Amino acid sequence: MTFQERNGGESKILSFNGKGSGIYILPHLKAAIATRSNFEASDGDILLASSMKTGTTWLKALIPSIINHNPGGEEEQEDPLLRKHPNELMPSFEVQLFKENPNPDLSGMLSPRLFRTHMPYTMFPESVKNSGCKIVYITRDPKDTIVRVIMALH
pLDDT tens-digit map of 109-139: 989 999 999 988 988 999 999 999 999 999 8
Q: Which of 28, 69, 118, 154 is catalytic?
A: 118
Q: Which of 139, 140, 128, 136 is nearest to 48 (CA)?
A: 136
For residue range 24-66, list pLDDT tens digits in order: 667 788 898 999 999 999 999 999 999 888 888 888 888 988 8
For residue 3, is pLDDT > 50? no
Taking the model in full, what pTM does it have?
Answer: 0.77
Average pLDDT across the chain, whole number: 81
Under CATH, what is the fold of the domain 40-70+77-153? Rossmann fold (3.40.50)
Decide if 85 is catalytic.
no
Q: What is the DSSP string of 37-103?
A: HH----TT-EEEEE-TTSSHHHHHHHHHHHHT--TT-SSPPPPGGGTS-HHHHS-BIIIIISSS-SS
